[in-house]
Structure 1
Amino acid sequence: MELRDYIRILHKNWVIILVLTVAGGVAGAAYSFLQDPKYQSTTQLYVSVRSEGAATGDLVQGTTFARQIVASYVDVVNTALVLDPVIQELGLDMTAAQLSTQVSASAPLNTVMIDITATDTDPEQAAAIADATAASLTSAVQTTLEQPATPDAASPVQVTTVQPAVVPTEPSSPNALLNIALGTLLGLAIGIGIGVLRTVLDTRVRTLHDIEQLTTAPLLGGIAYDPSAQKRPLIVHADPRSPRAESFRSLRTNLQFLNIEGGPRSFVVSSAGPGEGKSTTTANLAIALAETGARVALVDGDLRLPRVADYMGIEGGVGLTDVLIGRVELADALQKWGRGQLFVLTSGPVPPNPSELLGSVAMDHVLAALTEHFDYVLIDAPPLLLVTDAAVLSKKTRGVILVAASGKTNKHDLTGAIRSLETAGGQLLGLVVTMLPTRGPDSYGYGAYTYGSTHDADGTKTTSGKQRKSAKARKRTKTPA
């Protein structure tokens, strides 16, 4: 993954990340609020070895011994030997094991100091436990652990309280600010993790970059999503000045460069699955090609679920199937559309054997006649993964233009369609991505600068200069120049 992929993940999942981050902070605050405040108080002891009248060397040895023995005294603090007297003195209703969870001891490195810390919900009780534990440890060391040589003699180890416990005024826990910070960071990490997981598990095509990662075939164009596409599928005819119409013209230009080596300009337009915009793409591309003055034949090769006749607004009762079975002549089945040189050959009646008809010798004769009399022949074919019709037609034409819908086409389906085409011996000429979002992290800048006169809805002619467009369009449009 590149840096732009991570930025896209943050941009795409910012709502989830923000919600979980805030939720984590709120959870930390709620945890702090629900916890009983606890107070800590510390008593500090000093451990030394008696050396009355001893030489300097004895003092050094005594200090070294004290440092070594301090660690053992720290471990003794949480034993019953020390805590049982504390329970009796303070009248606590608990065992030594329970009290040990409230008492801790530590010794700073290379010192003879012992810090005894007591924790309790009552600040005065915390100070009392700390002092009582210190006194009990002192007694245990001097009378039991380090017994004097004779009953009247003093213990060789002396434990002195240098800092008695002080009643705390502020609770030591919960630390609200720390809990809120930790909760916020945890929520942020979970949000980012979910965003990354969603991206990794998302198998649908989202951007043009996804297409580039799946195949080395050229990307011929990107068509933005139009919520009103069902109402006006022929956008090049209905709104020729719109940025979406310009996208089809860019596709037209790229298609013209596919025929640099010469040969028949017959192309099959298909997709991996249904509902990805292949029929509208074929129809709009045919209109855009006809705008240049070229003679274009638009053939509805989808003999199972034809759409071209409905989109073009013409009668589809007589068409390709009639020509293939010899019922109608090709010239009689072609219908002129619009003011240019665009002719439409509808599918005609739905036959029981579409694949056999499309793979027949009669279909070869039809394609030969069309490529002889027309500059471009565009065939709208069924999806590649559902039936073999498109694969059959691909071997009779220049190749296949594969349409994929952003947010709908599955990456595995797209790669499967490409493999199916390769297995059949067809050639993949390029891909067109439709339904690209115009907003959000996956947005595609499809607008274009327009210069010249346009017409309003009432027919009034207006002149406009540059109109705003997204800078992404220049970067992502791959129109050869």
Structure 2
Amino acid sequence: MPFNEYVRIVVRYWWAIVASVLVGGLAGFGYGMYFTSVDYVSSARLFVTAEGGTSVGESYQNNLFAEGRVNSYAQIATSEQVATRASEALEGAISPADLRSKTTALPVEDTVILTISVSGPSPQRAQSYAAAVAQQTVEVVQELETSRRGGTSAASAVLYDEPGLPSTAGRPWMSWTAIGAGAGLIVGVVIALLLGWRRRGTVVDEVTAVDSTHHPVLAVLSPQTIPIETLGTDDSADRDADALRGLHNLIRFLGGRRDEQARAPRVVGFTGVGSDAGAGDVAARFAATVAATGNTVLLVDGDLSGGGITAGTELSADHGLSTVLSSSTGSVDPYVGQGGLTILPAGPVPPESGALVSSPVLGTVLDDLRERFDYIVIACPRMGSTSDSIVYSALADAMVVVVRSGSATRKALSDSVAAIELVGAVIGTVLVSGKAGQVKAQDVADSAEPAAESVDAEIVDFEPGSESVTETIRTTIDHASRNGSGSAAAAGVPSDGRGR
């Protein structure tokens, strides 16, 4: 994957990184506070000298000799012999091994000074440990530097700074917290990359949808199912009313721009990619929103296999699209009026639904319905389940592909759009994401009225294909298609009533 894809994954799963850092930091803090001992540190300093030297040259040589001796004395201070003697001097208060593990000896750079530090569980213990180790180091050095034949020692170590009583203890929890947070950061980045790698081929947002189809995302909707019996009435509140009005206007204007000689699409099909895309619900909500603007709208349940939006309802019990196509309606009107919306249910499931949809009768029926309605919205079966959606794609003016965030692969979406474009036109996609919820009808109505008033004043004189509308929509789609961010619904406004 390119580097920017890794950055995108890290930004998308930032919560995993933050959570890992917090967990790691808390774990380190707890370990440092409750599972590590708090040690006090006391230090003593030794001065190393070399004997003899009456001239400047000899003094310089002795100084170099002493500097070299400091490193050797540091090894002596942490030796087992010094630890054993110091333990005996402390009357066995601490074992030689433990004392040795708590002792450090570091020479001060470019000097003849040796710093011996010893830690202990209390200030007094640390001071006594350091004093014993320093004293025993001096004695061992004196023994080693003195010739067995007697005489003076070549060099010696002098304790010039007695160990003091430490006032504060070290804080291991601080270092352990930092270590835990750092480890958590690394783990969090790895988790984020694994999550991104697992879902690298999945449509999860507008960016991946645009990259997969090369079509704009017309709207981002939350999953919501409105009972078909209340669709088109005051009880059919929709939380995404503004986004659906924006979808309506984008379809009107963008559809008209596809062909300068053609009118905006009036027969619009909605099909989904993935088993839970919810294209039928989106089509129903879109039809109800367009009908609320004063247009005459027919919602057609195009899924004759029994899985459509009217399946299992009284609307589809006896008559519907299947009886219209088979010319078996008789004197019964299969069209159901609900408020300003008209619904053509799927009807009884025919023995061969695919053959019925593929018959020339469907095209004739749609041509007749164009004369009766401003808009015909077809809730098509999902792609891949049957070939019916391809037939509807050939007969509709434009198709909208609905995809659920995180449930469809990029390849499936890309292949579905390509299959539709072999026979028809795809105007864009709708991304369904988020969680469903309940919205009061009055709240939706109150929020919709101000938006309708403000926008009507702006677009009432626009005609499809005019320069002002063209520039407005071009700006919106350029923004959506370049970076895939920002819902296209942001540019959507309520319909002017009868515009197409």
The TM-score bracket by the shorter chain reads 0.7 to 0.9
CA separation of 1:135/1:403 partners in 2, compared to 1, >3 Å: closer, same or farther? same
> Does the 8 Å CA contact 2:47/2:113 hold for their aligned counterparts?
yes
TM-score by length of 1: 0.75
Q: 1:477 corresponds to which residue?
A: 490
- Check 1:5–1:26 CA distance in 2 against 1; reply closer, same or farther (3 A cut): closer
1:42 aligned residue: 43
Q: Distance in 1 between matches of 2:313 and 2:286?
A: 13
SS at match of 2:403: strand
Question: Residue 360 of structure 1: CA displacement?
Answer: 2.7
Encode CA deviations 1:199-253: one digit per residue, 9 max, x unaligned.
7756776654554454321222333455xx4458856532689764343332222
What does residue 327 of structure 1 align with?
Answer: 328
Distance 1:171 1:308 in 2: 72
The reply on whether 1:220 has 2:218 as its aligned counterpart is: yes
Q: Is the CA contact 1:39–1:122 (under 8 Å) kept in the aligned structure 2? A: yes
Q: Which amino acid aligns with 2:490?
A: T
Q: Answer yes or no: is 1:251 the counterpart of 2:247.
A: yes
Residues paired across the two proteins, number: 444
Letter in 2 for 1:431: T
Determine if the alignment matches structure 1 residue 388 to structure 2 residue 387.
yes
Any idea what SS the aligned residue of 1:394 has? helix
SS of match in other structure, 2:233? helix
Mark the CA change 1:44 to 1:400 in structure 2 (over 3 Å): closer, same or farther: same
Distance 1:477 1:211, change over 3 A: farther
Note the C-alpha offset of 1:374: 4.3
Does the Cα contact within 8 Å between 1:240 and 1:246 map onto a contact in 2? no
2:271 paired residue number: 270
Residue type matched to 1:479 in 2? G
Give the whole-Å Cα distance in 1 for the aligned partners of 2:311 and 2:234: 15
SS of 1:43's partner is strand
Instruction: Quote how far apart the aligned CAs of 1:78 are.
Output: 2.2
Partner residue, 2:376? 377
Q: Distance in 2 between matches of 1:309 and 1:180?
A: 59
* TM-superposed deviation, 1:438: 9.6
Pick closer, same or farther for the CA change 1:6–1:55 going to 2, 3 Å.
same
Return the alpha-carbon distance in structure 2 between the equivalents of residues 8 and 237 of structure 1.
39
Q: What code does the residue aligned with 1:254 have?
A: L
Identity of aligned residues (%): 22
Question: Mean alpha-carbon deviation: is it higher for 241-250 or for 101-110?
Answer: 241-250
Asked if structure 2 preserves the Cα contact closer than 8 Å seen for 1:236 and 1:245, the reply is no
- Partners in 2 of 1:397 and 1:235 — Cα distance? 23
What is the deviation of 1:303? 1.0
Q: d(CA) in 2 for partners of 1:266 and 1:381?
A: 12
Is residue 320–residue 334 contact of structure 2 (8 Å, CA) maintained in 1? Answer: yes
- CA separation of 1:359/1:417 partners in 2, compared to 1, >3 Å: closer, same or farther? farther
Tell me the equivalent position of 1:153: 151
In the alignment, the residues of structure 2 paired with residue 281 and residue 134 of structure 1 have an alpha-carbon distance, to the nearest angstrom, of 83
Q: 1:33 to 1:187 in 2, by over 3 A?
A: same
1:147 partner letter: T
Q: Distance in 1 between matches of 2:86 and 2:242?
A: 88
Distance in 1 between residues matched to 2:212 and 2:229, nearest whole Å: 28
Structure 2 CA distance for aligned equivalents of residues 151 and 88 of structure 1: 28
Partner of 1:131: 131
State the partner residue of 1:358: 357
Q: Deviations over 1:239-284 (max 9, x none)?
A: 6897643433322222212134226632221112345442233233
Structure of higher RCO (CA pairs closer than 8 Å, 6+ residues apart):
2
The TM-score, its normalising length taken from structure 2, stands at: 0.73
1:43 Cα deviation from its structure 2 partner? 1.6
C-alpha spacing 1:237/1:201, structure 2 compared with 1 (3 Å): farther
Q: Cα gap change, 1:35/1:212 in structure 2, threshold over 3 Å: closer, same or farther?
A: same
1:164 to 162, 165, 170: 162
Give the letter aligned to residue 301 of structure 2.
Answer: D
Residue 473 of structure 1: how far off its partner (Å): 9.3
Mark the runs of 5 or more structure 1 residues left unpaired by the alignment.
440-445, 455-471
Q: Cα gap change, 1:339/1:134 in structure 2, threshold over 3 Å: closer, same or farther? A: closer
1:431 Cα deviation after fit: 1.6
Contact 2:266 2:375 survives alignment (8 Å): yes
- State the partner residue of 1:238: 234
Say which SS state the counterpart of residue 137 (structure 1) adopts. helix
- In the alignment, the residues of structure 2 paired with residue 346 and residue 58 of structure 1 have an alpha-carbon distance, to the nearest angstrom, of 112
Q: Which residue matches 2:52?
A: 51
Superposed CA deviations along residues 17-64 of structure 1, whole A, max 9, x for unmatched, are 479738844761563244433222222111011125x10111011101
Q: What runs of 5+ residues in structure 2 fail to find an aligned partner?
A: 438-443, 454-484, 496-500
Equivalents in 1 of 2:77, 2:451: separation in Å? 91
Does the aligned pair in 2 maintain the 1:385–1:416 contact within 8 Å? no
Measure, in 1, the Cα distance between the counterparts of 2:56 and 2:128.
39
Higher fraction of helix: 2
Structure-1 separation of matches of 2:87 and 2:108: 27
CA deviation map 1:106-158 (0-9, x unaligned):
001000011111222254443333233223322332322x333x734101102
Tell me the CA shift for residue 300 of structure 1: 1.3
The residue type paired with residue 163 of structure 2 is A
- Partner of residue 300, structure 1: 301
2 CA distance for matches of 1:75 and 1:4? 53
Q: Is the 8 A contact 1:269 1:402 kept in 2?
A: yes
Cα distance in 2 for residues equivalent to 1:337 and 1:61:
111
**Cα distance, 1:376–1:24 mapped onto 2, change above 3 Å:** same
Describe the SS at the equivalent of 1:410: coil
- Corresponding letter in the other structure for 2:302: G
SS of residue paired to 1:395: helix
- Contact map agreement 2:218 2:428 (CA 8 A) in 1: yes
Q: Distance in 2 between matches of 1:175 and 1:423?
A: 64
State the AA in 1 paired with 2:251.
L
Instruction: Supply the distance in 2 between the matched residues of 1:475 and 1:70 (Cα, whole angstroms).
Output: 75
* 1:66/1:352 CA distance change after superposition, 3 Å: farther
Partner AA of 2:407 in structure 1: N
Alignment of 1:184-195 (within 5 A): none
CA distance in 2, matches of 1:41, 1:452: 74
Distance 1:103 1:296 in 2: 88
CA-CA distance at 1:184 after TM superposition: 6.4
How far apart are residue 162 of structure 1 and its match?
Answer: 0.5
Q: CA deviation at 1:82?
A: 2.9
